[in-house]
């Protein structure tokens, strides 16, 4: 689904919640205009992401940049790699995640700590 398809579905009144997947559909530059258009129309924006920590933190930053009253969908299944990388999720308090104010996504990977996830080819 591209920006045109989101707009057409939105204009037809078919959607109340807009939920693009940041990693699979356009990244920040593709999703932010969709989010802003949805919010301007009074719809809700809930970025979708299911996977490792980097994409989840990116989706959180996208939601923060878009504004509105949307939510960040977080998978509750056990995922040690996500938990190791997405350390800002550990700051969840009263349903709010503090993404911090560090540059970029605010994550400095500790590669040695994540060494157990390395795969040799």
- Domains held by the chain: number: 1
Share of the chain above pLDDT 70, in %: 94
pTM of the model: 0.82
**3-state SS, residue 24:** coil
Domain that holds residue 90: 3-117
Residue corresponding to tokens 């939601």: 63
Question: E strands along 1-121, which residues?
Answer: 17-18, 44-45
CATH number at residue 30: 3.20.20.120
- What pLDDT sits at residue 88? 63
- What pLDDT sits at residue 4? 85
Q: Kindly report, residue by residue over 84-98, the tens digit of the pLDDT.
A: 776 666 667 887 888
Segment 13-20 mean pLDDT: 90
Return the exposure string of 43-71: e unless at least 16 CB atoms fall within 10 Å of the residue's CB, then b: bbbbbbbbebbbbbbbbbbbbeebebebe
């Amino acid at each position: 689904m591209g920006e045109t398809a989101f707009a057409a579905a939105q204009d037809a009144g078919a959607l109340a919640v807009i939920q693009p997947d940041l990693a699979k559909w356009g990244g920040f530059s593709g999703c932010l205009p969709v989010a802003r258009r949805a919010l301007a129309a009074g719809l809700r924006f809930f970025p979708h992401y299911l996977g490792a920590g980097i994409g989840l933190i990116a989706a959180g930053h996208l939601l923060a940049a878009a504004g509105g009253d949307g939510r960040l969908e977080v998978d509750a299944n056990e995922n040690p790699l996500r938990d190791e990388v997405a350390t800002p999720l550990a700051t969840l308090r009263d349903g709010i995640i503090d993404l911090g104010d560090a540059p970029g996504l605010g994550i400095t990977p500790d590669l040695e700590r994540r060494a157990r996830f390395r795969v040799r080819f």
